Structure 1
Amino acid sequence: MKIMSSYFSVGSGWMIPITRALESWNIELSDVMRECDVRQEDFVDQESRLSAEKTVLIMDFCNTFANRHDFSIAIAQAFHPGMFHALGYAMMSSDTLLDAFSRIARYKRVVSNTCTLKLETRGENMHFLMDVIAYDDSGRAVLSHDCIFSFLGTITQFARETLKSDYSPLAVHLNWPKPNYDTQFLNDYFQCEIFFDSDEISLVYDEETLSKQLIGRNPLLTQSHEKLLDEYLSRLDRTDVEQLVRNRIYEMLPLGTPSQSEIASHLGMSLRNLQRRLHEKNTCFRDILEHTRRKLALEYILQSHLSFNEIGYLVGFSNIGNFNRAFKRWTGVTPGVYRKQQRSVFKAAQ
């Protein structure tokens, strides 16, 4: 099936760093909007979307206008958490960099639907992998090389601002030949070796640094932002039954464990239809419920003002014994031991 180009988009929040980069390059926003057919309504609020093709046009226009090649890096350097909707703030309040990277991989549709993201452990290193979608009719990648530079640079800038250091990845891998222009600006920015003609697009990090706890960690804030993100994704793609089920579970857990029949009824579909649609997504209700409970429990356990009884109640367990058994199945230790371990880790990181 031929996919229409307007289908691919990025969050309008990208206009925040783009506008800042334009100011630093002395380029008028009005000129960019006119030349690239960008309208005010394309970015009037955080839930607007900007077509991927217009993003490509903006970068091409600015590089050509200034006779340079590094506008993508100017965007990355102008990072602002608001560019990722509530996701940016959820990342800033994450427990570790690894936690933040996992969060952006999970919620990447908030940022863009032009690629897939995943984390892969290889030895002592972690690869943050980006797989860009191609148009069905031409096979051309939806994102230009400059757009990819900008995204990888933004992730790097986020890491630096969160760690309050000049921390850089171990390497950057790009799966196309080295351009015929000077790419020293990439080495200068990433401060690591750039591998062109690689088998993948990725940032490589050492797992030890990714696992260090962040000073700005705040589980309560992260949880609040994730609720906003889940609601936004439901509005963004109402056909994503897995996301719809997860949202309903979030809402109903404090009242007890919801049944699959109850969830189906709330979503206005039959039990059989819900089961079929989840099967098509290679998942099932039980797995979504288990994952949701585990995720919430691990977030609540870091909030010292909550008792274990309260946490068990919030994730749908009727008694503390059932919660303790489930928690030990998830982590290998009891809630009390896990909370002590996390306190020790945090003190060591300070």
Structure 2
Amino acid sequence: MSAPLHQHHSPIEPTILASWIRALCQTLRGYGVHPEPLMRQCGMDAGLLHVPEARYPTAQVRRFWQAAIEHTGDPLLGLQMGEEIQAPSLHALGLAMLASANLSELLSQMARYCKVISSTMHMALRHDRSGSALVIKTLGGSEPNHAARVAMLAFIHRQACRLSQHPIKPTFVALAVEPTPEYSARLDNYFGVPVTLGAEQDSIGFCYSDMLEPFAGANPMLVSLNEQAIRDYLSRIERLRFADRVLEQIRRTLPEGEPRLGDIAQTLGVSQRTLQRKLNQEAQSFQGLLDQARRQQAEDLLQHSTLPIVEIGYRLGFSDPSNFCRASHRWFDCSPSELRERGRLVAT
């Protein structure tokens, strides 16, 4: 059951796991809303939904939540998503949850590794005489109506009931959601307790007897394997060079036109001077990374697509075909058409 996580997209900005968004898309379909047009409006590539390790920028996801709520007309869309998302879609973290010994271990896993799901999410466990509570926060803002945090708490409660094989009643649920009678009725019915709305933070509590009740499906070996996969994944993210982050952002921006140093610096949250200094420390330059990104995309598009050569040049930021031709000679020691022909000969 171990599902190793491999990094496809550098977290150059706050990101959210694509499979979490896939669950939201499935929920939208239940409302009769097609998610793909909404994703395009928010600048999201729907093709990443089926890449297990892919991630979306948080800013795009929050716009997507806004559009999703508007099109469904359901302010508690997050609650519905929390009822439907399946643990295995969270890969190694979800599989570790399914193999956990009890609710205490499950909540500890979520608190330690929640950044696999969202790099802006922070969870903390608190304990007192009455039991334990899981508190959720998101850095740098939130989705409309705290939708993602509501979804997460609903998902956790459903897993607690499923793995315990009987209903688990929280000691309390508190949400920073606007208090309305309609919201209260739906939330109270789902969690089985009166939910406090308008709270300062989103949290859920459980008594110690429920926290420590053994789960029938406990498997320490699977927990260990999947937690190691999670740690390896998070460690790879943290070790990324700054130049790798700049290069990834250049690759994302290139189809929209030639990336400018100032725009890339702003996306990364640094000044132009800081960006140049950090690249210099790694013996890199912005122009060199831009050239590297263009070279890689030129080779890929010329050998693996049927796009006209002139269009490929435009996509790479060459408004003049002769400039693209000169760059091709510098990169590959041949013209774009000759490189394309080489690719065809190799293929046959």
Say whether 1:190 aligns with 2:191.
Answer: yes
Residue matched to 2:147: 146
Residue matched to 2:219: 218
Q: 2 CA distance for matches of 1:126 and 1:16?
A: 31
Please list, as runs of the form range in 1=range in 2, the aligned pairs for 1:48-63 lying within 5 A after superposition.
48-63=54-69
- Alpha-carbon deviation of 1:14? 0.3
Match of 2:132 among 126, 144, 148: 126
Residue matched to 1:174: 175
Does the CA contact (< 8 Å) of 1:8 and 1:142 recur in 2? Answer: no
Q: 1 CA distance for matches of 2:230 and 2:20?
A: 17
Residue matched to 1:103: 109
Does the CA contact (< 8 Å) of 2:150 and 2:175 recur in 1? Answer: no
- Alpha-carbon deviation of 1:150? 1.2
Residue matched to 1:253: none
Match of 2:81 among 69, 72, 75: 75
Larger Rg: 2
User: Deviation per CA, 1:231-254, whole angstroms, max 9, x where unpaired?
Assistant: 1111222169xxxxxxxxxxxxxx
Residue matched to 2:317: none
Residue matched to 1:236: 237
Residue matched to 1:205: 206
Distance 1:90-1:182 versus aligned 2 partners, 3 A rule: closer
Q: 2 CA distance for matches of 1:57 and 1:192?
A: 31
- Alpha-carbon deviation of 1:9? 1.6
Distance 1:41-1:234 versus aligned 2 partners, 3 A rule: farther
- Alpha-carbon deviation of 1:17? 1.8
- Alpha-carbon deviation of 1:101? 0.7
What secondary structure sits across from 1:85 in the alignment? Answer: helix
Q: 1 CA distance for matches of 2:157 and 2:149?
A: 12
Percent identical pairs in the alignment equals: 19
Match of 1:16 among 22, 47, 59: 22
Does the CA contact (< 8 Å) of 2:96 and 2:226 recur in 1? Answer: yes
What secondary structure sits across from 2:110 in the alignment? Answer: helix
What secondary structure sits across from 2:161 in the alignment? Answer: helix
Aligned letter for 2:137? Answer: D
Please list, as runs of the form range in 1=range in 2, the aligned pairs for 1:155-166 lying within 5 A after superposition.
155-166=156-167
Aligned letter for 2:38? Answer: V
Match of 1:114 among 120, 128, 146: 120
Q: 1 CA distance for matches of 2:83 and 2:38?
A: 19
Does the CA contact (< 8 Å) of 2:164 and 2:213 recur in 1? Answer: no
5+ residue gaps, structure 2, are 1-10, 242-348
- Alpha-carbon deviation of 1:154? 1.5
User: Deviation per CA, 1:267-293, whole angstroms, max 9, x where unpaired?
Assistant: xxxxxxxxxxxxxxxxxxxxxxxxxxx
Distance 1:181-1:154 versus aligned 2 partners, 3 A rule: same
Aligned letter for 1:73? Answer: L
Aligned letter for 1:200? Answer: Q
Q: 2 CA distance for matches of 1:55 and 1:156?
A: 24
User: Deviation per CA, 1:206-259, whole angstroms, max 9, x where unpaired?
Assistant: 11101011011001111111121111111222169xxxxxxxxxxxxxxxxxxx
Aligned letter for 1:64? Answer: E
Aligned letter for 2:169? Answer: S
Distance 1:50-1:93 versus aligned 2 partners, 3 A rule: same
Q: 2 CA distance for matches of 1:230 and 1:9?
A: 17
- State the TM-score, normalized to the length of structure 1: 0.60
Q: 2 CA distance for matches of 1:31 and 1:120?
A: 41
Q: 1 CA distance for matches of 2:78 and 2:224?
A: 31
Q: 1 CA distance for matches of 2:26 and 2:123?
A: 26
Residue matched to 1:38: 44
Say whether 1:65 aligns with 2:66.
Answer: no
Distance 1:44-1:176 versus aligned 2 partners, 3 A rule: closer
Q: 2 CA distance for matches of 1:9 and 1:168?
A: 32
User: Deviation per CA, 1:289-340, whole angstroms, max 9, x where unpaired?
Assistant: xxxxxxxxxxxxxxxxxxxxxxxxxxxxxxxxxxxxxxxxxxxxxxxxxxxx
How many residues get paired?
230
Does the CA contact (< 8 Å) of 2:76 and 2:183 recur in 1? Answer: no
**Higher RCO (C-alpha 8 Å, min separation 6):** 2
- Alpha-carbon deviation of 1:181? 6.4
Q: 2 CA distance for matches of 1:157 and 1:16?
A: 19
What secondary structure sits across from 1:37 in the alignment? Answer: coil
Q: 1 CA distance for matches of 2:35 and 2:202?
A: 31
Does the CA contact (< 8 Å) of 1:13 and 1:82 recur in 2? Answer: no
Does the CA contact (< 8 Å) of 1:93 and 1:219 recur in 2? Answer: yes
Distance 1:57-1:183 versus aligned 2 partners, 3 A rule: farther
- Alpha-carbon deviation of 1:103? 1.0
Say whether 1:27 aligns with 2:39.
Answer: no
Q: 2 CA distance for matches of 1:66 and 1:142?
A: 19
The worse-fitting range, judged by mean Cα deviation, of 78-87 and 218-227 is: 78-87
What secondary structure sits across from 2:216 in the alignment? Answer: coil
